[in-house]
Amino acid sequence: MVKRWPLAVAFQSLLDLLLSLVWPMFKWLLTKFSGRCELLRIVLRYPSGAERICKLELAIRASGCPAVRALLPAVQPAQQGGDRGKDELISAAQAAEAASAVAVAKRVEPGVYPQFESALAEAAIAVASHDRLCRRADAVRRVAFSNDCAEHEAKLAKLWTALCPGQPLSGRICKQWGDIGFQGDDPQTDFRGMGMLGLEQLLFLASRYPSQAAAVLSQSQHPVSGFPFAVAGINIGHLVWRLLAARKFRKHFYNLGSYELDDLHRLFCCLFLRFADFWQRQGASVMEFNSVKAKFKRLIKTEAARSDCLFRAPEESSETG
């Protein structure tokens, strides 16, 4: 941890205070002399895509105008009672209505700037869709793997079959699990921290990308430069989850324009396959796993910050069902 001297801390606090006072005044002056509010300036300056959505999101969250701030709450999950109601999004018509209210409040003429309202509605729905994906992923992550759940056990068995076809397990609890990179005789213990999300992602990789999964599994079994396949996958899945929750992948999803759990699983597959390639190029041993993962994380965060970020998974196998 970097030590900060009291004088430096005081200076930074003073700078933050000055910025908090000056920035609103600067925005007011810019709006006054340009005749365009901050939201309109963003819409006119940036083309449709992740960069514009991110800029609009920041401006909306920082705005003191009730009509503007209502954009994001307006597209949060509909409070209609029950779990299903909590995961619904506002319709395109409702988003358009909220955007129209902003145009009125900010005196933006639709005839002069026809793209303004559609850009606001697009941004609001994108932000809400990303937030919903985070909630859905967290809900799966919070479900602990249980030996007593037939569905969980069936998915675990399917993972083994997908990775080791034609090789039956000698028993539910056995040393064979180590062949695909679990740490012990019972994989249940390795899913702690990622719950069913860890298993779902490994199964998605093994079933949708069987040839790539088989290649990485073979690579992981190298006597010198190998790594535990399943545990490494769960670790990368946890990295993906943490970056998703920290909104580091929002530009990827805003550019993708799709926010389903399968889209998150494809992102995991893309990054796990890239990690395997990164690992090989590092020439590392299993004792260096954490340091290699830290380097990989920095690389991914840098790429994710780009406005044109879009992590592309390989073509899925045509044999998947």
* Cα 216 to Cα 35: distance, rounded to the nearest angstrom: 57
Cα dist. 186→80, 122, 147, 164, 202 in Å?
42, 46, 10, 17, 16
What value does the mean pLDDT of the chain take?
Answer: 87
Measured between its terminal Cα atoms, the distance across the chain in Å is: 49
pLDDT digits (tens, 9 = 90+) for 115-158: 999 999 999 999 999 999 999 999 999 999 999 999 999 999 99
- At residue 13 the predicted structure's pLDDT band, cuts being 50, 70 and 90, is low
CA distance 184 to 189: 8
CA distance 269 to 238: 12
Q: What is the pLDDT of residue 238?
A: 98
User: Binning pLDDT at 50, 70 and 90, where does residue 23 land?
Assistant: very low
Burial class (CB in 10 A: 0-12, 13-18, 19+), 248: middle
Which residues make Cβ contacts (< 8 Å) with residue 109, sequence separation at least 6?
A: 103
The answer to whether residue 86 scores a pLDDT higher than 70 is no
Q: Which residues of 277-289 are buried (b: 16+ CB within 10 A; e: fewer)?
A: ebbeeeebeeeeb
Poorest-pLDDT segment among 32-41, 164-173, 249-258: 32-41
Kindly report, residue by residue over 186-236, the tens digit of the pLDDT: 999 999 889 999 999 999 999 999 999 999 999 999 999 999 999 999 999
CA atoms within 13 A on the CB side of 216: 29
CA distances for 155 relative to 145, 149, 202, 227, 257, angstroms: 10, 10, 10, 23, 29
